[in-house]
Structure 1
Amino acid sequence: MMSDDERDIDIESDVENDSDSRNHGRNNIGGSGYYSQAEKRAHHNALERKRRDHIKDSFTSLRDSVPALQGEKVAYALRVELQARRECVSPPHSQCYAVVFSLEASRAQILKKAAEYIQFMRRKNNSHQQDIEDLKRQNNMLEAQIRTLEKARSTGNYMDAHDLGFGIKSEGSSHDTDSSDGEGTTRRVKKLKINGVSV
């Protein structure tokens, strides 16, 4: 998909190519090197139509990218506005302005909802980044604990592993258990077993 700048360049290059080919054709025919008013108007109208179509397509693409706007129809403001201007000879014509205003509000709504969605996604992204950082920290801690346990296993010095305070639960239960009097929870630390020997 082309960016706005690329499309502008593309449109401009089309204009240059069109004008070069027309001038070349005119010079070969032997006619005058200048455009008539009708040709200039037609050329300008074609460029304007291309520009309006690009804007319309961009708004449609933006609307389709925002979940809150999916399924809603985009009003074609420029096309109806031009038609309204032709029909409304006197500027204070209220019906004409109502049509143009409602169409412009639709595009304003697309821009507003798109901005809100971008902000929402930024917040969501920041939250996910924070979660990733937390998981990385937890992963590093677990890797350090694994290294310590492997070292304790190879040296036979299990006190180092016990000093880590893994908080490993008892063999019988992996949950915190309520005390019988209900005043709190008690944890039983699971004994580390290596080669059938409890530590």
Structure 2
Amino acid sequence: AWAAALAGPDQAPDPAPDAVLIGCFGDPGLMALRESSPAPVTGLAEAAFIEAARHGRYAIVTGGERWGPMLQRLAQALGQAQQLAGIHTVVPTGAQLAADPAAAHRLLAQACRDAAHQLGVQAVILGGAGLAGMAAAIQSDVPVPVIDSVTAGTHWALRTPPLPPTRSTPGFDIAWQGLSPEMTALAPTSAT
């Protein structure tokens, strides 16, 4: 959708945004969006990594067992591997956790306590858009700051002063293969 908005002046958002926030904790498309967007871009995970790192080493607690390796690769790609002490995934997915908040609070508070004690971290990220608001609900049960990834992303996007634009016009500096038609339209004419 963002590529479609950037591809043509009749589709461009008005007014242009000051920032773009990817509303998924895995930050899908982060690098491509960052490269092509005139507005600064981040995702929930990167914003949470930045906020948690202000406290020192941190751990991630999230729902869904398959997220661990992907989040480890993302932290490595974003230069956060040294600060990230570990990733603790709980079996239920974020959607399953959101469906039963009382049970989720108990499970996530225990997972955050375990991560804090076992890994000796100074903060724990509670990662996932479906877990928005749960960090505040369990904070009193966890001995270190619990970072809500949605709140961290919101703080990043709303910071004052706003981040400077990363480029003057939308597009890519080189042509890419296998992109959607909307993303391909952002490639420079001379590079295609």
Quickly name the TM-score band, shorter chain normalised: under 0.3
Q: TM-score, normalised by structure 1?
A: 0.21
User: When you count helix as a share of all residues, which structure comes out higher?
Assistant: 1
Q: TM-score, normalised by structure 2?
A: 0.21
Q: Which has the higher contact order (CA 8 A, sep 6+)?
A: 2
Q: Max radius of gyration: which structure?
A: 1
